[in-house]
A and B are shown apart, each in its own frame.
Chain A
Amino acid sequence: MNIQIRNGRLVDPATDHEHTQDLFIADGRIAAVGVAPPAYKADRVLNASGLVVSLGLVDLSARLREPGLEYKATLESEMEAAVAGGVTSLVCPPDTDPPLDEPGLVEMLKFRARSLDQARVYPLGALTQGLKGERLTEMAELHDAGCVAFGQPGATMTDNQVLMRSMEYATTFGFAVWLRPQDATLSHGGVAHDGEVATRLGLAGIPVCAETVALSAILILARETGARLHLCRLSSAEGVEMVREAKRAGMAITSDVSAHHVHFSDRDIGYFDSNCNLIPPLRDIRDRDALRMGLIDGTIDAICSDHTPVDDDAKQLPFAEAEPGATGLELLLPLTLKWGREVGVSLAAALARVTTHPLRVLGLPVPSIAPGEIADLCVFDPEAWWRIEPGVLHSQGKNTPMLGMELQGRVRYTLVGGSIVFDTPS
């Protein structure tokens, strides 16, 4: 199908170029920019006047809740949410039920996702069997089944010997290791940042040192083993500083932050808003500001949604008993744009944190908006304001501290491989 995107503002993070031109798509790829190729006949013309045409978003963490947790969300609902959020590729973390620790599970997930024909799904394999932090998974097999890297959610790796060996083993095959730094013992029982808010509300705290102690062990072991390391979901100013130092010292590491942590702090918990019960915990404003700065100077490479749909029953509980997590696929773009506006970086630079940078983290080719490239695109209205309400979200998860607030920037069309997978009548 030939699709012409007319008069859009092409913003290309790869080249930092911005110009208003027509885009011509044929056979799943960008056929031409500006002038139609010879004998080109558009089957469909999308009017993109006043809209931005960007590379599709790449989300480094989106829980689709399959297999095993279909009562919270289904692949159908969450893949729809992805493309409604302009996300054309996403990494699915291994903390499903059962965890993604066997090739069969990964193949099934890939197959199910492919049959929906929406966003591209990149499973993250479990680093250890059952994510128990005890025995290694069959990483080579899992890689063949489609895993892009291997990870372990925080606070589940309690044995540094296993951690070291898993890094060594992954490095043998050149696989990257993704870790969220959180020490299991120091965070034990905690549900909120160990600061004034937790003190006032009587919530058990997770101190910043739970992150920094884990981070120092991970960094030392990565240096020792030469592992290709990606650090997930930084939460503290001290953590950002440690990553900055490590990068300055020449370590080949990357890192990400969740979009909610770029905008919220523990103060937003108010009186026990369980939508602010997140992993890692929302820390104080100083930490939030350090995350925002870390994104500017490149200490933090990417913003991800850390999409975690939670059913209402699991949120309608006292704060500590509520299940942590927030829905995010549809908020990733507007929250990233908001960060960009607030810190004063260009639109292209803001978009880079959710397009080209995460691709680089994944070690995938980084396209630009140019002839010959695969047409994974997101077309959005950068000015449109919309109110975040349960009814407007495609995700089955309606849980976010953003509920009731307004955000600027709304997706109009999403294209994956040159096909329109999301379309709104404007």
Chain B
Amino acid sequence: MNTDLQIDAGGKLQHLLTIEGLPPELLLRILDTARSFVSVAEREVKKVPLLRGKAIFNLFFEPSTRTRTTFEIAAKRLSADVVNLNIATSSQTKGETLLDTVANLTAMHADMFIVRHGESGAAHLIARNVGPHIHVINAGDGRHAHPTQALLDMFTIRHYKGGFNGLRVAIVGDILHSRVARSEIHALTTLGVPEVRVIGPRTLLPRQVQNLGVHVFHDMESGLKDVDVVIMLRLQHERMNGALLPSAGEFFKSYGLTPEKLARAKPDAIVMHPGPMNRGVEIDSAVADGRQSVILPQVTFGIAVRMAVMGILAGN
């Protein structure tokens, strides 16, 4: 069902909803295309005419600044017309259903929807209910998937590590609630990373997560040993004090990335974070701003990767 929905009969990418089930060649093609777009930002005129005349709707049912902005910049650099809809504060509160909202925007001749929604599966639902000329990009659905974030992380890893073979990658923190972690796990295993680890307390690891092809660790000392890449996840405020965790302080003590803990990784290991960071909760400022951090380049690459995805979806 997934592959049918994402890839059309001719083998072309129709929607980008999840990394799961996509062939490695396609992921590499997106990364290769993104590489060619990195230079666009360095030109004096930061625009290419690839999507001129196309209408792209940023459909954000959940607040976001960074992801929405990078999608907007990416679309504008491709010369598309971008409409931002912050639906969290408009039609949904007036009782309009998700599919009615989508139908209305379709009537405005949208070519592409970039969707963020608080519920897992929302992007799939929309993709199943739009006409064949409309492309859907999942910009994060509940705890399920955030494929462009995973792709930009893969781009970053490839940029700094030259490839994926032979790497050890650790994803640290709240795996249970993280759509980023799920998409990264699929991307890393698809691209042939031989060892993907997840590190976190048992309350923040989903059931049978090892079946996704990862090694499970509950402590940073053994989990970070000899890794090439450390991906830190954001810990949401509402999860810090309750039945999942006693306090942000205790979480930082056990799982916060400090220079001492990072020393367990390989000397040339890179540190990534999808943002926004909680300094002093999951990451120490000395690491976030340190020489191994590639957190800001991630953001820059994110624009190129999103340009690549939009370009490929639009058939160029």
Name the CB-closest residue of A to B18.
A271
Number of chain B interface residues as a range: 20 to 34
Query: Complex formed: what's the CA distance from A332 to B98 in Å?
Result: 33
Query: Complex formed: what's the CA distance from A94 to B65 in Å?
Result: 47
Q: Is B78 an interface residue (CB 8 A)?
A: no
Q: Is B31 an interface residue (CB 8 A)?
A: no
Are B1 and A202 in contact, CB atoms less than 8 angstroms apart? Answer: no
Name the CB-closest residue of A to B186.
A200
Query: Complex formed: what's the CA distance from A317 to B118 in Å?
Result: 12
Chain B nearest CB from A404 CB (Å) reads 12
Chain B nearest CB from A272 CB (Å) reads 3
Are A202 and B211 in contact, CB atoms less than 8 angstroms apart? Answer: no
Are A320 and B97 in contact, CB atoms less than 8 angstroms apart? Answer: no
Name the CB-closest residue of B to A317.
B98
Give the residues in chain A near B98, CB-CB below 8 Å.
Answer: 317-318
Give the residues in chain B near A202, CB-CB below 8 Å.
Answer: 120, 141-145, 179, 182
Chain B nearest CB from A322 CB (Å) reads 9
Q: Is B286 an interface residue (CB 8 A)?
A: no
Query: Complex formed: what's the CA distance from A201 to B207 in Å?
Result: 12
Are B182 and A200 in contact, CB atoms less than 8 angstroms apart? Answer: yes
Complex interface bits, A187-203 against B, C-beta within 8 A gives 1, otherwise 0? 00000001110111111
Complex interface bits, A253-275 against B, C-beta within 8 A gives 1, otherwise 0? 00000000000000000111100
Chain B nearest CB from A75 CB (Å) reads 27
Give the residues in chain B near A201, CB-CB below 8 Å.
Answer: 120-121, 144
Q: Give the number of residue pairs across the A-B interface with Cβ within 8 Å.
A: 78
Are A199 and B211 in contact, CB atoms less than 8 angstroms apart? Answer: yes
Chain B nearest CB from A237 CB (Å) reads 16
What's the tally of chain A residues with a CB closer than 8 Å to chain B? 23
Given known pairs A200-B182, A202-B142, the reply for A318 and B207 (CB within 8 Å) is no
Chain A nearest CB from B99 CB (Å) reads 6
Q: Is A205 an interface residue (CB 8 A)?
A: yes
Q: Is A316 an interface residue (CB 8 A)?
A: yes
Given known pairs A200-B20, A200-B182, the reply for A319 and B211 (CB within 8 Å) is no
Q: Is B273 an interface residue (CB 8 A)?
A: no
Query: Complex formed: what's the CA distance from A204 to B141 in Å?
Result: 13
Are A272 and B125 in contact, CB atoms less than 8 angstroms apart? Answer: yes
Q: Is B206 an interface residue (CB 8 A)?
A: yes
Are A272 and B120 in contact, CB atoms less than 8 angstroms apart? Answer: yes
Q: Is A43 an interface residue (CB 8 A)?
A: no
Are A199 and B209 in contact, CB atoms less than 8 angstroms apart? Answer: yes
Are B1 and A199 in contact, CB atoms less than 8 angstroms apart? Answer: no
Interface residues of A in 325-369 (CB under 8 A from B): none
Query: Complex formed: what's the CA distance from A272 to B145 in Å?
Result: 13
Q: Is A383 an interface residue (CB 8 A)?
A: no
Other-chain contact of A318, B17, B117, B182, B206 (Cβ < 8 Å): B117
Q: Is A321 an interface residue (CB 8 A)?
A: yes
Are B1 and A271 in contact, CB atoms less than 8 angstroms apart? Answer: yes
Closest 8 CB pairs of A and B: A202-B143, A272-B121, A202-B144, A318-B119, A199-B206, A202-B120, A196-B208, A318-B122
Are A320 and B211 in contact, CB atoms less than 8 angstroms apart? Answer: no
Give the residues in chain B near A318, CB-CB below 8 Å.
Answer: 98, 117, 119-122, 125, 141-142
Query: Complex formed: what's the CA distance from A74 to B97 in Å?
Result: 24
Name the CB-closest residue of A to B61.
A318
Contacts beyond the supplied A199-B212, A203-B121, A320-B120: 8 A-B pairs with Cβ under 8 Å? A199-B206, A202-B120, A202-B143, A203-B143, A271-B5, A272-B124, A317-B97, A318-B122
